[in-house]
Amino acid sequence: MKTKILIVDDESGIRDALARHFRLEGYGTETAADGAGALARLAGEPYSVVISDIMMPGMDGIELLRRVKAEYPMVRVIMITGYITLGNALACSRYHNLLHRNSDLVEFANRSNLINSFGSGIIQADHHRLYKTPTYYAQFLYATLAGPRPLRLESALPCNVGLDLSATLTARGDTVTLFAVNDTLHPILRPMDFSAFGKSGPRLTVWTLLDREHAGEPDVRDSFAQPERIRPERSTFRADSPRFEYRFPALSLTVLQWHPESPAP
C-alpha cells in the first residue's frame, strides 16, 4: 500500500511545493491549509505521516500535534518551520515539552544535527558572517540539558496552561531539569516543589532565553547588527527550602537544573 502523507501549511506555495516533491518520490500526498482542515482530512481517510508547519493562524502546529497524537496515535508527525523569531523559538520549545510529557525516553536527534543548522535556517549567514537565531539556542538547551528520563509533573493547573512545563531526570537520577516556556507578555510567579528529591533548599543552575532589550514583542530576532540580542543567560538560584516560588520572565524559555547537595562528612 502506498504511504500517504498529509502536508499542512497556511502558505500555498510551500505546501504545493512539498506535495509535488513527495509525489515525484512515489508517495500519495494530500494538503490542508490549516489545522482544522487537517483534522477533517484525517477523519475521512488514513494517513501514515503528517508534515505540519508550526506557526499557523487559528490552530497552530503544536495544538494539531497534540490532537493527532491523541486521536490518531499511529500517525507520525513531522514539524517544520521557517520562522526565526523569539516567538518561534518558544513555539518550538512547547513542542519539545509536549514530547517530554508524552514519551518514555528522551533522545534528541539535534545533538548531531546542530552542525547542519545552516540548511534549516536556524543559523543565518552571508559571505563572511553568521549568527545563531533564538530557535538555535532553544534547540541547543534541550539537546544538551535534557535527561533521558521524562518526569510526571503534579500541578493544580495543566502543564500547558500559563507556563508550558516539562521535566527530565538524568540516567543516574542525580539531576532534575525543568523546562518552562512563558509565551505571555507578563511574568508568571509559580510555586515549585523539589521535596521529592531532597530536604534542603535546592541549588539551581538557571538558563534563561529572552530578549535582552525587553521589548515585549514575540517577533524580535537576532540579526547581523545585533547577533546576541536573544541568547541564553546563565545564573544560579538558591532557595531556603525545597518548596519555593520562582518568577518566570515574560516571553522566555527558562531551564532550572537541580543538583543534589553533597552529603555532609
Q: What pLDDT was estimated at residue 244?
A: 92
Considering the domain architecture, whether residues 8 and 75 belong to the same structural domain is answered as yes
Considering the domain architecture, whether residues 139 and 209 belong to the same structural domain is answered as yes
Considering the domain architecture, whether residues 123 and 226 belong to the same structural domain is answered as yes
Among the candidates 59, 80, 101, a domain finishes at 80
Considering the domain architecture, whether residues 67 and 90 belong to the same structural domain is answered as no
Q: How does pLDDT run across 36-86, given as a tens digit for each residue? A: 999 999 999 999 999 988 778 888 887 888 899 889 988 988 877 666 789
Q: What is the 3-state secondary structure (H, E, C) of 186-213?
A: CCEEEEEECHHHCCCCCEEEEEEEEECC
Considering the domain architecture, whether residues 47 and 168 belong to the same structural domain is answered as no
Among the candidates 57, 80, 103, a domain finishes at 80
DSSP-based three-state secondary structure for 113: helix
Taking alpha carbons only, the member of 137, 136, 153, 138 closest to residue 190 is 153
Considering the domain architecture, whether residues 133 and 238 belong to the same structural domain is answered as yes
Predicted model pTM: 0.72
pLDDT band at 190 (very low <50, low <70, confident <90, very high): very high
Q: What pLDDT was estimated at residue 82?
A: 65
Considering the domain architecture, whether residues 64 and 96 belong to the same structural domain is answered as no
Average pLDDT over the chain reads 84
Considering the domain architecture, whether residues 154 and 245 belong to the same structural domain is answered as yes
**Which CATH number do you get for residue 1?**
3.40.50.2300
Considering the domain architecture, whether residues 75 and 130 belong to the same structural domain is answered as no
Cell of residue 129, nine digits: 558572517
Domain coverage including residue 96: 86-265
Q: What pLDDT was estimated at residue 106?
A: 56
Considering the domain architecture, whether residues 180 and 75 belong to the same structural domain is answered as no
Domain total in the chain: 2
Place of cell 543565518: 124
Average the pLDDT over 139-168 and give the result: 86
Q: What pLDDT was estimated at residue 251?
A: 97
Among the candidates 53, 80, 107, a domain finishes at 80
Considering the domain architecture, whether residues 37 and 96 belong to the same structural domain is answered as no
**Which CATH number do you get for residue 258?**
2.60.40.1180
Cell of residue 133, nine digits: 537565531
Q: What pLDDT was estimated at residue 263?
A: 44
Considering the domain architecture, whether residues 166 and 260 belong to the same structural domain is answered as yes
Cell of residue 51, nine digits: 508534515
Place of cell 499557523: 56
